[in-house]
Amino acid sequence: MGNVIEVRALAKIFGDQSALENVNFQVEKGETFGFLGPSGSGKTTTIKILTGQLRPTSGEAQVFGLSSSSLKNREYRKKIGVLTDNSGLYNRLSIFDNLKLFCDLYNVPVKRIDEVLGLVNLTDDKKKIVAKLSKGMLQRVLLARTLLHEPELLFLDEPTSALDPANSKQIHDGLRRLNEKGTTIFLTTHDMSEAETLCDRVAFLNKGKIQLLDEPKKLRRQYSDSSITLELKDGREIVLPGGVQGAEAIYKYLSADQVVSIHSNEPTLGDIFVDITGRELV
C-alpha cells in the first residue's frame, strides 16, 4: 500500500520540557490511525509537526515523502485537511453560504458543497444559520469545510470531544464513509471507544513516548486472560476459565437451560492503557 506518514526518532522539546521523545510510527495509505493518550501526552504537538505548524527538535516526520522542513509548502497543504477547534465560520451566514465562501477562497467548484454536506449528513440543514447550530452540527460543518478540497489525508485532533453520543456517531459515520472512499485518517483522541470503532491501528502515547502500537483487535486478544462470563437465569454471573475446563462448564449450564448470555472477557483499549501506563486516559 505504501506509507503516507513516516515518523522516525521524532523529538520535541519546549524549553526544558520534553513533549515528544523518540517517537516512531508509519501510517499506510487508506488507513485510519489513532493516536491515543491522556491530556498533555503530546498528541497535538505531533499533529502540529505533521501539518507543518511546528518544527521538530530532532528526528524526522515525512508526509507524502516530504520532510518536516517542507510541510508548509502549498502543494502539501492541498493534499491535507486539518480539523481544528478554531471555527472561523461566519455566524450570521447559512451553512451553505459559509462553505461557498471557502469554495471561492480555495478555488473549489460550488457543486462540491452538496457532496461534503452529504458526507456529514447535513444536506437538509444547509440553509440553517451558523449561529443557531448545536455544537454537534457545528463540528460537522467544520468537518465538511475541511473536506471541500478533497484532501487525501485528514488530521483530526479530538474530533468528537465535547459532543454527545448521537453527534459523535454522526461524525463517526462520516469518517467511515470517507475512509471507505480511500481517505487516510490520522486521529487523536482520548476516547477509547472512538478508537475501537474507527481505527485500523492505534498507538498509545504516554508522556511523549509510544508505549504500544497495533490493531485494536490484536491488542485486546494479546491482553485477554481468555476467561468467559456466563450470565445465568437465576441472576448469577460466573467467570469461567478458557479451554476444556471452561467449555465443560458452559456445556453443563447450557444443557440445563440456565444461560442468558455468554461473553468473552477481552479488555477494552482503556483497560490495556491503564495496565501498560498505570494512568487513566483523561
Ligand X SMILES: Nc1ncnc2c1ncn2[C@@H]1O[C@H](COP(=O)(O)OP(=O)(O)OP(=O)(O)O)[C@@H](O)[C@H]1O
Q: What residues line the site for ligand X (CB under 6 A)?
A: 14, 17, 19, 37, 39-45
Cβ proximity to ligand X: between 47 and 99 the closer is 47
Identify which of residues 7 and 144 has a Cβ nearer to ligand X in the complex: 7
**Spatial distance between the Cα atoms of 7 and 51, rounded to a whole number of angstroms:** 13
Nearer to ligand X, 37 or 216 (CB): 37
- Specify whether the CB–CB gap between 159 and 187 falls below 8 A: yes
Kind of pairing between the strands at 80-83 and 3-14:
unpaired
Question: Shortest Cβ distance from residue 190 to ligand X (Å)?
Answer: 6
Closest separation in Å from C-beta 10 to ligand X: 12
State in angstroms the smallest separation of the CB of 175 from ligand X: 19
For the CB of residue 56, give the shortest distance to ligand X in the complex, in Å.
13
Give the full edge-to-edge strand order of the sheet including 17-28.
Answer: 17-28, 3-14, 58-63
Q: Which amino acid is at 227?
A: S
Closest approach, Cβ 72 to ligand X, in A, equals 17
| CA gap 277, 274 in Å, rounded | 5
* Residues in the chain, overall count: 282
Q: Which is nearer to ligand X, 17 or 86 (CB)?
A: 17
CA distance 140 to 133: 10
* Nearer of residues 43 and 220 to ligand X, judged by Cβ: 43
Contact status, residue 50 vs residue 61, Cβ threshold 8 Å: yes
